[in-house]
Structure 1
Amino acid sequence: MSEPNALLPALRASTADLALALDDSQWSDADVAAPSLCEGWTRGHVLTHLARNADGIAGTLAGALRGEIVARYPDGWEARNAAIDAGAGRSFAELRADVVESAERLDRVLGAIADADAWDRPTDQDRPAVEWLMGRWREIEIHRVDLAGDYSPDRWPPLLVTLLLPQVAETLADRVPSAVTVEVSAEGSLSGELVGSTWSAGSGPATVVSGPDWALLAWLVGRPEVVQHLLGSLPELAPLR
């Protein structure tokens, strides 16, 4: 099973599940103005970010189909941040529609990439088109947790955890001030493939962080507050880049 054949259906499933969850939540306008788990952002900021992220990736991939390199945020990061701030205060109905409609636009471009078998075409940041599948999938799943609703990381798709945990664990050396060892325990893990895996960084006596794969991933992507009850005292991590 090639990477696009695995990731595109998974992304589509997560996107559809998010849309259904938003319908079921029936948040009020006050609810979307409430804080999210992203510091300084409301739920409205997170939802707007998801929509603009979809449009940014769609623009990049549409450029790849034309044989052009198109920046994900053509006007730069300040404009990207301003757009998120500007959209965050909208009503729940507007925010929900923006998330769904932008995801549909992106899916049409992804379908065109798949039809053209153009996954290896170069895009922004010297990334082949296929890499945006994982990039978008992680945005959907991680930011769904950030919405601080009833969705928690123990519900992440096992394939996402299997693919993403080793990637982010390899960043430890650049993010910890002292020695750390990360161990995947069997109990509670979503992926049997990762049980027993370890990653270490730093020298000298190490702090050992052991737990299920999804909880370790949540910590490593900067969401310690949702897993601290399970993993205990956690070393400080520099932000994931």
Structure 2
Amino acid sequence: MRKSIRILIVYIVNVILAGIILFPLIYALMISFMRPEDIFQYPPKIIPTNLYLGNYIEALKSVPILRFILNSFIVSSAVTVGQIVTASLAAYAFTYYDFKGKNLIFLMFLSTMMIPGEATIIANYLTIRSLNWLDTYKALIIPNLSTALGIFLMRQFFLTIPKDYYEAAAIDGATKFQFFVKVLLPLSRPAIGSLAIYSFLMTWNQYMWPLLVTNRDEMRTVQIGISMLQMAESQSFGLIMAGVIMIVIPSLVAFIVGQKQLIEGLSAGALKG
């Protein structure tokens, strides 16, 4: 009986916390469907009387949001694929190859996680400018193709896979690359899914780097786009919220679809160090 009560209390607390966390997003969605006069009405409304689509139409006219979404999708997808490839290959080397200084090199990789991105952003910008990559997809994609966190996550997951698979594949005549592609990667789907969702969302939400390396609207990403919309329509809260909702939906869908893989990958990777 006491156990049932405790479980009920936990569920109630979780529902309350979920409601608190989701309320701003839900309220933003409601505001996006309200007319301007309804937003400033007192007492304030939470649910619109009628669904008003004018905010979405005006948002699309004010700034090229669809172009921003397309740019962010291209960049985020390319970075996600790149991080999966580079992290998997590097983690494979750190897990299954023995070479001099392996642990020291891996420690150096991890130490870069303690360096804030702002400390290297000017040097990275000067490098991109010297290569004449400003206002190109290369400037948005290539600097983000590899991260120490991705290598760490994949290595930790690879360590949970028994070495017997590697030895059995070698006995069957499989090369190291065949083992990597046909055995290791299929077994690592939770970690790959986790890294994919993390990489996609982090790239989608980038603001400072795209702001530095892009000047033309044709190359801007969604986070800069919403700032442009806010500056252009500072008093039109319904219009701004409509833009926010259009930008949030792709990342929210990606998180919902990959939530299970994200949790499984992070949990499994934490089991062995």
TM-score surpassing 0.5? no
User: What TM-score results when the alignment is normalised by the length of structure 1?
Assistant: 0.26
User: What TM-score results when the alignment is normalised by the length of structure 2?
Assistant: 0.24
Q: Which has the higher helix share?
A: 2
Which has more radius of gyration? 2
Q: Which has the higher contact order (CA 8 A, sep 6+)?
A: 2
Q: Which has the higher strand share?
A: 1
